[in-house]
Amino acid sequence: MLSPVTIETIELTLPSRIEAINKAATAVAELVTRSGIDEEAAFGIDLAVREALVNAVIHGNKLDEAKLVEINVKSSLDSFEVSVHDQGQGFNPETISDPTKEENLLKSSGRGIFFMRNFFDEVDWSISPTGGTTVRMIKRRANR
């Protein structure tokens, strides 16, 4: 008999302040630990989630504390999914410079999307008609 798919979710809303990023990332990391994800994958998830949160707070909401960042995390037997939504103007991720090109190697920023795409199996962005951008990242689990 197959075991039922158990899902744990967390939903967080935080103000657009740098200090809030660590609190949210810690909550996601705790769920990663409870989910039994291996240490190497957990490191990548943590780094990518922090980058998504920084992008939402700084680039999306421009540190405007009146604007919120929403985080939704779902853990199932098949995957680990994180969505981060800001209330900013939106952007096209394809216009972001490739951080692996020689002219970008020494830049102090611009690696967040690269990390997200490398540490998760699937990453996509959507711009809401009512405002804001959502990045959705999915890490598939190996067969258990």
- Asked if the structure places residue 1 within a domain, the reply is no
Report the predicted TM-score, pTM, of the whole model to 2 decimal places.
Answer: 0.88
Per the domain annotation, does 2 fall within a domain?
Answer: no
pLDDT for 3 beyond 60: no
Q: Is the pLDDT of residue 5 over 70?
A: no
Q: Rounded to whole angstroms, how far apart are CA atoms 4 and 49?
A: 28
Pick the closest to residue 59 from 136, 126, 112 (CA basis). Answer: 112
What φ, ψ does residue 99 adopt, rounded to 5°?
-70, -10
Strand partners, 124: 136
Give me the half-sphere count of Cα atoms (radius 13 Å) on the Cβ side of residue 14: 25
65-109 pLDDT, tens digit each: 999 999 999 999 999 999 999 999 877 677 777 767 777 666 666
Residue 19 in any domain: the answer is yes
Domain harbouring 48, CATH code: 3.30.565.10
Using an 8 Å Cβ cutoff, are 134 and 72 in contact?
no
Domain ranges, residue 55: 8-140
Domain count along the chain: 1
Domain membership flag for residue 125: yes
Does residue 99 belong to any structural domain of this protein?
Answer: yes
